[in-house]
Amino acid sequence: MNWPEYTSLARQLADVRRAEVEFRARSGERTAAAHAVIDRLTKHLDLQRGRLVNLAAQLRLPEPRFGAAGQSGIVDVGEALQRAADATNAADAEARRAEELAGQPVLLPGMSPTGRSALVYIA
């Protein structure tokens, strides 16, 4: 091996090392971002759990059971976190819908309270 070959290989090695350092830095940033999303989701789920328990009590339903989710087969962390966020948002929307429906009277929900009272007393 002569000197030009040696210097060429040394440059290649330096390039590989530099690329590895950059890869590790990007990987660390992605990991930190994923941890931040997980922390937000965990807080959201804790609040949601309390809200669902309160809603069940308010509606006189059995307390909901919470368990671990099954494996989804998704290997991309970002996609899995996005799906989890979408699912929690959908659950929030359904809980709001349940609260709205619970606030409606069972008998003739589209009628005014006065009209309902009049019909009940007439019957």
pLDDT in tens, 91-121: 999 999 988 888 877 777 788 888 888 888 8
pTM greater than 0.85: no
Question: Which residues are CB-neighbours of 35 under 8 A, at least 6 positions away?
Answer: none
pLDDT in tens, 20-47: 999 999 999 999 999 999 999 999 999 9
How much is the CA Rg of the chain, to the nearest whole Å? 29
| Amino acid letter, 82 | Q
